[in-house]
A and B are shown apart, each in its own frame.
Chain A
Amino acid sequence: MKAIEAREVVLSFGETPALRGASISVAPGEIVAVMGPSGSGKSTLLHCLAGILVPDSGEVHFDGRRIDTLSENQRSLLRRDEFGFVFQFGQLVPELTAEENVALPLLLGGVKRAAALREARPWFERLGLAGLERRRSGELSGGQAQRVALARGLVARPGALFADEPTGALDTLTGEQVMDLLVASAREQGTTVVLVTHEARVAAYADRQVIVRDGKVNALVHS
Protein backbone atom coordinates (compact mmCIF):
# COMPACT_ATOMS: atom_id res chain seq x y z
CA MET A 1 0.00 0.00 0.00
CA LYS A 2 1.29 3.40 -0.95
CA ALA A 3 1.13 6.90 0.54
CA ILE A 4 0.47 10.20 -1.25
CA GLU A 5 1.55 13.59 -0.03
CA ALA A 6 1.47 17.21 -1.16
CA ARG A 7 3.53 19.82 0.65
CA GLU A 8 2.76 23.52 0.31
CA VAL A 9 1.69 23.18 -3.29
CA VAL A 10 1.15 26.45 -5.17
CA LEU A 11 -0.28 26.59 -8.68
CA SER A 12 -1.73 29.44 -10.70
CA PHE A 13 -3.45 29.43 -14.06
CA GLY A 14 -2.08 32.66 -15.56
CA GLU A 15 -2.91 35.35 -13.04
CA THR A 16 -5.47 33.20 -11.24
CA PRO A 17 -4.19 31.33 -8.21
CA ALA A 18 -5.77 27.86 -7.85
CA LEU A 19 -3.68 26.42 -5.03
CA ARG A 20 -2.03 28.65 -2.44
CA GLY A 21 0.05 26.33 -0.33
CA ALA A 22 -2.06 23.18 -0.21
CA SER A 23 -0.77 20.33 1.93
CA ILE A 24 -2.33 16.91 2.33
CA SER A 25 -1.08 13.54 3.47
CA VAL A 26 -2.90 10.33 2.55
CA ALA A 27 -1.78 7.20 4.38
CA PRO A 28 -1.21 3.91 2.53
CA GLY A 29 -4.55 2.26 1.80
CA GLU A 30 -6.49 5.23 3.13
CA ILE A 31 -9.57 6.64 1.40
CA VAL A 32 -9.67 10.43 1.70
CA ALA A 33 -12.46 12.63 0.41
CA VAL A 34 -11.52 16.12 -0.77
CA MET A 35 -14.50 18.43 -0.48
CA GLY A 36 -15.00 22.09 -1.14
CA PRO A 37 -17.08 24.60 -3.06
CA SER A 38 -16.83 24.98 -6.83
CA GLY A 39 -13.63 26.73 -7.82
CA SER A 40 -11.95 26.01 -4.48
CA GLY A 41 -9.11 24.12 -6.16
CA LYS A 42 -10.06 20.57 -5.21
CA SER A 43 -9.80 19.13 -8.72
CA THR A 44 -6.56 21.02 -9.31
CA LEU A 45 -5.18 19.46 -6.15
CA LEU A 46 -6.17 16.00 -7.40
CA HIS A 47 -4.45 16.69 -10.73
CA CYS A 48 -1.28 17.72 -8.90
CA LEU A 49 -1.35 14.61 -6.67
CA ALA A 50 -1.84 12.44 -9.76
CA GLY A 51 1.05 13.97 -11.68
CA ILE A 52 -1.22 15.45 -14.33
CA LEU A 53 -0.35 19.03 -13.39
CA VAL A 54 3.01 20.24 -12.11
CA PRO A 55 2.87 22.80 -9.29
CA ASP A 56 4.65 26.16 -9.55
CA SER A 57 6.17 25.42 -6.15
CA GLY A 58 5.86 22.86 -3.39
CA GLU A 59 6.35 19.11 -3.55
CA VAL A 60 4.28 16.04 -4.41
CA HIS A 61 5.34 12.59 -3.21
CA PHE A 62 4.02 9.16 -4.03
CA ASP A 63 5.20 6.06 -2.20
CA GLY A 64 8.13 8.01 -0.78
CA ARG A 65 9.22 9.28 -4.20
CA ARG A 66 9.05 12.91 -5.31
CA ILE A 67 7.01 13.05 -8.49
CA ASP A 68 6.61 16.75 -9.29
CA THR A 69 10.22 16.93 -10.49
CA LEU A 70 9.85 14.00 -12.89
CA SER A 71 9.85 14.63 -16.63
CA GLU A 72 6.59 14.64 -18.58
CA ASN A 73 7.43 11.19 -19.91
CA GLN A 74 8.29 9.78 -16.48
CA ARG A 75 5.03 11.14 -15.04
CA SER A 76 3.14 9.64 -17.93
CA LEU A 77 4.65 6.23 -17.17
CA LEU A 78 3.93 6.67 -13.47
CA ARG A 79 0.27 7.42 -14.20
CA ARG A 80 0.05 4.41 -16.48
CA ASP A 81 1.73 1.97 -14.11
CA GLU A 82 0.74 3.19 -10.66
CA PHE A 83 -2.43 5.26 -10.88
CA GLY A 84 -6.03 4.55 -11.76
CA PHE A 85 -8.56 7.24 -12.63
CA VAL A 86 -12.32 7.60 -12.51
CA PHE A 87 -13.93 10.80 -13.74
CA GLN A 88 -17.44 12.22 -13.56
CA PHE A 89 -18.48 11.07 -17.01
CA GLY A 90 -16.96 7.56 -17.37
CA GLN A 91 -15.00 8.77 -20.39
CA LEU A 92 -14.95 5.34 -21.96
CA VAL A 93 -13.53 5.01 -25.45
CA PRO A 94 -16.70 4.76 -27.56
CA GLU A 95 -15.13 2.64 -30.30
CA LEU A 96 -14.10 -0.09 -27.84
CA THR A 97 -16.30 -2.70 -26.17
CA ALA A 98 -16.78 -2.53 -22.40
CA GLU A 99 -14.25 -5.32 -21.82
CA GLU A 100 -11.70 -3.63 -24.09
CA ASN A 101 -12.22 -0.41 -22.14
CA VAL A 102 -11.54 -2.24 -18.87
CA ALA A 103 -8.47 -3.94 -20.37
CA LEU A 104 -7.13 -0.65 -21.76
CA PRO A 105 -4.64 0.19 -18.97
CA LEU A 106 -3.19 -3.32 -19.28
CA LEU A 107 -2.98 -3.09 -23.08
CA LEU A 108 -1.25 0.29 -22.80
CA GLY A 109 1.13 -1.27 -20.29
CA GLY A 110 2.17 -3.87 -22.86
CA VAL A 111 0.08 -6.83 -21.71
CA LYS A 112 -0.97 -9.03 -24.63
CA ARG A 113 -4.59 -8.68 -25.74
CA ALA A 114 -5.76 -12.15 -24.69
CA ALA A 115 -4.14 -11.85 -21.26
CA ALA A 116 -5.50 -8.32 -20.76
CA LEU A 117 -9.05 -9.41 -21.59
CA ARG A 118 -8.65 -12.40 -19.26
CA GLU A 119 -7.78 -9.96 -16.45
CA ALA A 120 -10.64 -7.64 -17.38
CA ARG A 121 -13.47 -10.18 -17.51
CA PRO A 122 -13.79 -11.08 -13.79
CA TRP A 123 -14.52 -7.40 -13.09
CA PHE A 124 -17.84 -7.69 -14.90
CA GLU A 125 -19.08 -10.33 -12.49
CA ARG A 126 -17.63 -8.48 -9.50
CA LEU A 127 -19.32 -5.18 -10.40
CA GLY A 128 -22.67 -6.68 -11.43
CA LEU A 129 -22.01 -6.18 -15.15
CA ALA A 130 -22.00 -9.79 -16.34
CA GLY A 131 -23.30 -10.07 -19.89
CA LEU A 132 -22.32 -6.53 -20.86
CA GLU A 133 -18.73 -7.32 -21.84
CA ARG A 134 -19.25 -6.78 -25.56
CA ARG A 135 -21.37 -3.64 -25.35
CA ARG A 136 -20.03 -0.28 -26.40
CA SER A 137 -20.35 2.75 -24.15
CA GLY A 138 -23.37 4.05 -26.06
CA GLU A 139 -25.22 0.87 -25.15
CA LEU A 140 -24.61 1.21 -21.40
CA SER A 141 -26.61 3.17 -18.82
CA GLY A 142 -24.81 5.90 -16.88
CA GLY A 143 -24.38 3.64 -13.85
CA GLN A 144 -23.12 0.73 -15.94
CA ALA A 145 -20.65 2.96 -17.80
CA GLN A 146 -19.35 4.33 -14.52
CA ARG A 147 -18.85 0.82 -13.14
CA VAL A 148 -16.93 -0.08 -16.31
CA ALA A 149 -14.84 3.07 -15.71
CA LEU A 150 -14.26 1.94 -12.13
CA ALA A 151 -13.11 -1.49 -13.32
CA ARG A 152 -10.78 0.22 -15.78
CA GLY A 153 -9.40 2.36 -12.96
CA LEU A 154 -8.62 -0.65 -10.79
CA VAL A 155 -7.82 -3.47 -13.25
CA ALA A 156 -4.07 -2.85 -13.23
CA ARG A 157 -4.08 -2.97 -9.40
CA PRO A 158 -2.83 0.62 -9.09
CA GLY A 159 -1.18 1.92 -5.96
CA ALA A 160 -3.56 4.88 -6.01
CA LEU A 161 -6.98 5.59 -7.44
CA PHE A 162 -7.95 9.19 -8.19
CA ALA A 163 -11.68 9.71 -8.47
CA ASP A 164 -13.01 13.12 -9.51
CA GLU A 165 -16.75 13.42 -8.80
CA PRO A 166 -17.24 9.73 -9.69
CA THR A 167 -20.97 9.87 -8.94
CA GLY A 168 -21.60 13.42 -10.14
CA ALA A 169 -23.61 12.32 -13.17
CA LEU A 170 -25.57 9.55 -11.44
CA ASP A 171 -28.80 9.46 -9.44
CA THR A 172 -28.55 8.80 -5.71
CA LEU A 173 -29.08 5.03 -5.71
CA THR A 174 -26.83 4.38 -8.71
CA GLY A 175 -24.19 6.63 -7.21
CA GLU A 176 -24.31 4.70 -3.95
CA GLN A 177 -23.92 1.44 -5.81
CA VAL A 178 -20.81 2.81 -7.54
CA MET A 179 -19.42 4.07 -4.23
CA ASP A 180 -20.10 0.74 -2.48
CA LEU A 181 -18.16 -1.03 -5.21
CA LEU A 182 -15.39 1.57 -5.31
CA VAL A 183 -14.77 1.35 -1.58
CA ALA A 184 -15.03 -2.46 -1.43
CA SER A 185 -12.71 -2.98 -4.41
CA ALA A 186 -10.14 -0.44 -3.24
CA ARG A 187 -10.06 -1.99 0.23
CA GLU A 188 -9.69 -5.47 -1.23
CA GLN A 189 -6.72 -4.37 -3.33
CA GLY A 190 -5.22 -2.06 -0.70
CA THR A 191 -5.47 0.85 -3.13
CA THR A 192 -5.03 4.35 -1.68
CA VAL A 193 -7.90 6.56 -2.84
CA VAL A 194 -8.23 10.30 -3.28
CA LEU A 195 -11.86 11.11 -3.92
CA VAL A 196 -12.92 14.60 -4.98
CA THR A 197 -16.57 15.32 -4.38
CA HIS A 198 -18.89 18.13 -3.45
CA GLU A 199 -21.47 15.65 -2.15
CA ALA A 200 -21.38 14.94 1.58
CA ARG A 201 -23.12 11.60 1.08
CA VAL A 202 -20.25 10.48 -1.17
CA ALA A 203 -17.59 11.90 1.13
CA ALA A 204 -19.11 9.91 4.00
CA TYR A 205 -17.75 6.73 2.40
CA ALA A 206 -14.18 7.91 2.99
CA ASP A 207 -12.03 7.22 6.05
CA ARG A 208 -11.40 10.95 6.35
CA GLN A 209 -12.60 14.18 4.80
CA VAL A 210 -10.70 17.37 4.12
CA ILE A 211 -11.98 20.65 2.74
CA VAL A 212 -10.22 22.78 0.15
CA ARG A 213 -11.02 26.41 0.60
CA ASP A 214 -9.29 29.28 -1.18
CA GLY A 215 -6.62 26.95 -2.49
CA LYS A 216 -5.66 25.51 0.89
CA VAL A 217 -6.53 22.23 2.55
CA ASN A 218 -8.33 22.37 5.89
CA ALA A 219 -8.49 19.22 7.94
CA LEU A 220 -11.85 18.79 9.59
CA VAL A 221 -11.31 19.18 13.30
CA HIS A 222 -13.73 17.23 15.41
CA SER A 223 -14.78 18.88 18.63
Chain B
Amino acid sequence: MTLLGLLEREPSHGYDLKRHYDTFFSRGKPLPFGQVYSTLGRLVRDGKIVVGEVEPGEGPERKRYVITERGATEVESWLTEPVEAEPNLQTVLFTKVVLALMLGRPAEEYLDLQRAAHLRRMKELTELRRGGDLVDALLADHGLFHLEADLHWIDTTVARLDALRKAVRK
Protein backbone atom coordinates (compact mmCIF):
# COMPACT_ATOMS: atom_id res chain seq x y z
CA MET B 1 0.00 0.00 0.00
CA THR B 2 2.90 2.35 0.73
CA LEU B 3 4.32 1.95 -2.78
CA LEU B 4 0.87 2.53 -4.25
CA GLY B 5 0.54 5.69 -2.17
CA LEU B 6 3.93 6.92 -3.33
CA LEU B 7 2.80 6.40 -6.92
CA GLU B 8 -0.20 8.62 -6.32
CA ARG B 9 2.27 11.38 -5.47
CA GLU B 10 3.94 11.06 -8.86
CA PRO B 11 4.56 8.45 -11.55
CA SER B 12 7.93 6.85 -10.79
CA HIS B 13 10.52 4.31 -11.80
CA GLY B 14 11.08 1.36 -9.49
CA TYR B 15 14.41 2.77 -8.39
CA ASP B 16 12.90 6.14 -7.37
CA LEU B 17 10.10 4.40 -5.52
CA LYS B 18 12.60 2.37 -3.53
CA ARG B 19 14.59 5.51 -2.76
CA HIS B 20 11.52 7.41 -1.55
CA TYR B 21 10.35 4.44 0.48
CA ASP B 22 13.75 4.04 2.12
CA THR B 23 13.91 7.77 2.92
CA PHE B 24 10.59 7.94 4.74
CA PHE B 25 9.56 4.45 5.82
CA SER B 26 12.31 1.87 5.95
CA ARG B 27 14.05 3.05 9.17
CA GLY B 28 17.38 1.45 8.40
CA LYS B 29 15.93 -1.61 6.65
CA PRO B 30 16.14 -0.80 2.95
CA LEU B 31 13.45 -2.35 0.80
CA PRO B 32 15.00 -5.06 -1.42
CA PHE B 33 14.72 -4.35 -5.16
CA GLY B 34 13.18 -7.78 -5.67
CA GLN B 35 10.32 -6.88 -3.35
CA VAL B 36 9.78 -3.55 -5.11
CA TYR B 37 9.42 -5.19 -8.52
CA SER B 38 7.33 -8.12 -7.31
CA THR B 39 4.94 -5.65 -5.63
CA LEU B 40 4.80 -3.49 -8.77
CA GLY B 41 4.08 -6.61 -10.85
CA ARG B 42 1.20 -7.51 -8.55
CA LEU B 43 -0.20 -3.99 -8.68
CA VAL B 44 -0.05 -4.02 -12.50
CA ARG B 45 -1.78 -7.42 -12.57
CA ASP B 46 -4.55 -6.09 -10.28
CA GLY B 47 -5.06 -3.00 -12.44
CA LYS B 48 -4.03 -0.57 -9.71
CA ILE B 49 -1.10 0.78 -11.69
CA VAL B 50 -0.04 0.68 -15.34
CA VAL B 51 3.30 0.93 -17.04
CA GLY B 52 3.51 4.38 -18.57
CA GLU B 53 6.09 5.58 -21.00
CA VAL B 54 8.85 3.04 -21.58
CA GLU B 55 12.24 4.62 -22.05
CA PRO B 56 14.64 3.10 -24.55
CA GLY B 57 17.23 0.68 -23.15
CA GLU B 58 17.46 -2.54 -21.21
CA GLY B 59 16.34 -3.61 -17.74
CA PRO B 60 13.46 -2.78 -15.44
CA GLU B 61 14.64 0.79 -14.84
CA ARG B 62 13.21 2.02 -18.12
CA LYS B 63 9.62 1.47 -16.93
CA ARG B 64 7.71 4.31 -15.35
CA TYR B 65 4.68 3.28 -13.31
CA VAL B 66 1.46 5.31 -13.12
CA ILE B 67 -1.38 4.84 -10.63
CA THR B 68 -4.85 4.11 -12.06
CA GLU B 69 -8.23 5.36 -10.84
CA ARG B 70 -8.73 2.01 -9.16
CA GLY B 71 -5.38 2.29 -7.39
CA ALA B 72 -6.11 5.84 -6.24
CA THR B 73 -9.48 4.73 -4.88
CA GLU B 74 -7.77 1.98 -2.92
CA VAL B 75 -5.26 4.45 -1.43
CA GLU B 76 -8.12 6.75 -0.45
CA SER B 77 -10.13 4.01 1.26
CA TRP B 78 -7.02 2.70 3.04
CA LEU B 79 -6.20 6.16 4.37
CA THR B 80 -9.71 6.83 5.62
CA GLU B 81 -10.17 3.48 7.31
CA PRO B 82 -9.22 3.69 11.02
CA VAL B 83 -6.44 1.36 12.09
CA GLU B 84 -7.76 -1.46 14.25
CA ALA B 85 -7.03 -0.73 17.91
CA GLU B 86 -4.93 -3.43 19.54
CA PRO B 87 -6.24 -3.93 23.05
CA ASN B 88 -3.89 -6.76 23.94
CA LEU B 89 -0.51 -5.35 22.98
CA GLN B 90 1.16 -6.61 26.13
CA THR B 91 -0.30 -10.07 26.41
CA VAL B 92 3.13 -11.56 27.07
CA LEU B 93 3.83 -9.12 29.86
CA PHE B 94 0.35 -9.64 31.30
CA THR B 95 0.80 -13.42 31.23
CA LYS B 96 4.21 -13.16 32.87
CA VAL B 97 2.83 -11.09 35.74
CA VAL B 98 -0.13 -13.36 36.40
CA LEU B 99 1.98 -16.53 36.17
CA ALA B 100 4.69 -15.05 38.40
CA LEU B 101 2.06 -14.25 41.03
CA MET B 102 0.49 -17.71 40.76
CA LEU B 103 3.91 -19.32 41.17
CA GLY B 104 4.90 -17.10 44.08
CA ARG B 105 7.75 -15.57 42.09
CA PRO B 106 8.93 -11.95 42.48
CA ALA B 107 6.67 -10.27 39.91
CA GLU B 108 7.86 -6.83 41.01
CA GLU B 109 11.45 -7.68 40.08
CA TYR B 110 10.34 -8.85 36.65
CA LEU B 111 8.36 -5.66 36.17
CA ASP B 112 11.39 -3.61 37.23
CA LEU B 113 13.46 -5.37 34.58
CA GLN B 114 10.79 -4.60 32.02
CA ARG B 115 10.65 -0.99 33.15
CA ALA B 116 14.43 -0.70 32.74
CA ALA B 117 14.24 -2.20 29.25
CA HIS B 118 11.43 0.19 28.29
CA LEU B 119 13.30 3.21 29.63
CA ARG B 120 16.42 2.19 27.77
CA ARG B 121 14.43 2.04 24.55
CA MET B 122 12.79 5.38 25.37
CA LYS B 123 16.23 6.89 25.81
CA GLU B 124 17.26 5.63 22.36
CA LEU B 125 14.09 7.02 20.82
CA THR B 126 14.57 10.35 22.60
CA GLU B 127 18.04 10.57 21.10
CA LEU B 128 16.61 9.74 17.67
CA ARG B 129 13.99 12.44 18.13
CA ARG B 130 16.51 15.05 19.25
CA GLY B 131 19.07 14.27 16.56
CA GLY B 132 16.79 13.57 13.62
CA ASP B 133 14.44 15.47 11.38
CA LEU B 134 10.71 15.93 11.81
CA VAL B 135 9.89 12.56 10.22
CA ASP B 136 12.25 10.83 12.67
CA ALA B 137 10.61 12.75 15.50
CA LEU B 138 7.16 11.61 14.41
CA LEU B 139 8.22 7.98 14.36
CA ALA B 140 10.10 8.26 17.66
CA ASP B 141 7.06 9.92 19.30
CA HIS B 142 4.86 7.02 18.24
CA GLY B 143 7.19 4.59 19.97
CA LEU B 144 7.65 6.84 23.01
CA PHE B 145 3.93 7.25 23.65
CA HIS B 146 3.35 3.50 23.40
CA LEU B 147 6.23 2.70 25.73
CA GLU B 148 4.99 5.35 28.13
CA ALA B 149 1.55 3.74 28.14
CA ASP B 150 3.17 0.39 28.97
CA LEU B 151 5.06 2.04 31.82
CA HIS B 152 1.82 3.46 33.22
CA TRP B 153 0.43 -0.05 33.16
CA ILE B 154 3.57 -1.38 34.87
CA ASP B 155 3.36 1.30 37.58
CA THR B 156 -0.31 0.64 38.20
CA THR B 157 0.30 -3.11 38.30
CA VAL B 158 3.17 -2.72 40.79
CA ALA B 159 0.91 -0.63 43.01
CA ARG B 160 -1.74 -3.39 42.92
CA LEU B 161 0.51 -6.43 43.20
CA ASP B 162 -0.58 -7.45 46.70
CA ALA B 163 -4.25 -7.38 45.76
CA LEU B 164 -3.52 -9.15 42.47
CA ARG B 165 -1.54 -11.83 44.26
CA LYS B 166 -4.54 -12.65 46.44
CA ALA B 167 -6.88 -12.61 43.46
CA VAL B 168 -4.90 -15.08 41.34
CA ARG B 169 -4.11 -17.44 44.20
CA LYS B 170 -7.75 -18.14 45.03
Q: Which of A37, A180, A200, A205 has the most CB of B within 10 A?
A: A200
With A37-B155, A204-B125 already in contact, the answer to whether A220 and B119 are too (CB < 8 A) is yes
Convert B117-152 into 0s and 1s, putting 1 for each residue whose CB lies closer than 8 angstroms to a CB of A: 111101101100110000000000000100110010
With A200-B147, A200-B151, A204-B144 already in contact, the answer to whether A218 and B122 are too (CB < 8 A) is no
Complex alpha-carbon distance, A206 and B122, angstroms: 11
Nearest B-chain residue to A184, judged by Cβ: B130
* CB-contact partner of B118 in A180, A199, A200, A211, under 8 A: A200
* Cross-chain contact A218 with B116 (CB below 8 angstroms): no
- B interface majority secondary structure: helix
Q: Which of A37, A204, A206, A221 has the most CB of B within 10 A?
A: A204
* Cross-chain contact A201 with B122 (CB below 8 angstroms): yes
Neighbouring A residues of B129 by C-beta, 8 Å: 176
* Cross-chain contact A200 with B116 (CB below 8 angstroms): no
Neighbouring A residues of B113 by C-beta, 8 Å: 221-223
Asked whether A137 is an interface residue with its Cβ less than 8 Å from the other chain, the reply is no
Neighbouring A residues of B115 by C-beta, 8 Å: 211, 220
Q: How far, in Å, is B98 (CB) from chain A's closest CB?
A: 20
* Cross-chain contact A201 with B159 (CB below 8 angstroms): no
Number of interface residues of B (CB under 8 A): 20
Neighbouring B residues of A151 by C-beta, 8 Å: none
Number of interface residues of A (CB under 8 A): 18
Complex alpha-carbon distance, A37 and B151, angstroms: 12
Complex alpha-carbon distance, A183 and B123, angstroms: 13
Complex alpha-carbon distance, A205 and B118, angstroms: 13
* Cross-chain contact A203 with B119 (CB below 8 angstroms): yes
Asked whether B112 is an interface residue with its Cβ less than 8 Å from the other chain, the reply is yes
* Cross-chain contact B148 with A201 (CB below 8 angstroms): yes
* CB-contact partner of A204 in B117, B126, B159, under 8 A: B126
Asked whether A23 is an interface residue with its Cβ less than 8 Å from the other chain, the reply is no
Complex alpha-carbon distance, A204 and B147, angstroms: 11
Asked whether A209 is an interface residue with its Cβ less than 8 Å from the other chain, the reply is yes
Neighbouring A residues of B122 by C-beta, 8 Å: 200-201, 203-204
Neighbouring A residues of B159 by C-beta, 8 Å: 37
Complex alpha-carbon distance, A45 and B57, angstroms: 73
Nearest A-chain residue to B145, judged by Cβ: A201
CB contact list, A40-69 vs B, under 8 A? none
* Cross-chain contact A223 with B119 (CB below 8 angstroms): no
Nearest A-chain residue to B148, judged by Cβ: A200
Convert B6-38 into 0s and 1s, putting 1 for each residue whose CB lies closer than 8 angstroms to a CB of A: 000000000000000000000000000000000
**Interfacial residues, chain A to chain B (CB-CB below 8 A):** 37, 176, 180, 183, 199-201, 203-206, 209, 211, 218, 220-223
Can you sample 26 A-B contacts with CB below 8 Å? A37-B155, A37-B159, A176-B129, A199-B148, A200-B147, A200-B148, A200-B151, A201-B144, A204-B122, A204-B123, A204-B125, A205-B126, A206-B123, A209-B119, A211-B112, A211-B115, A218-B112, A220-B112, A220-B115, A220-B116, A220-B119, A221-B112, A221-B116, A222-B113, A222-B120, A223-B113
User: What 10 pairs between A and B have smallest CB-CB spacing?
Assistant: A204-B122, A220-B116, A204-B126, A200-B151, A223-B113, A222-B116, A204-B123, A200-B148, A209-B119, A201-B148
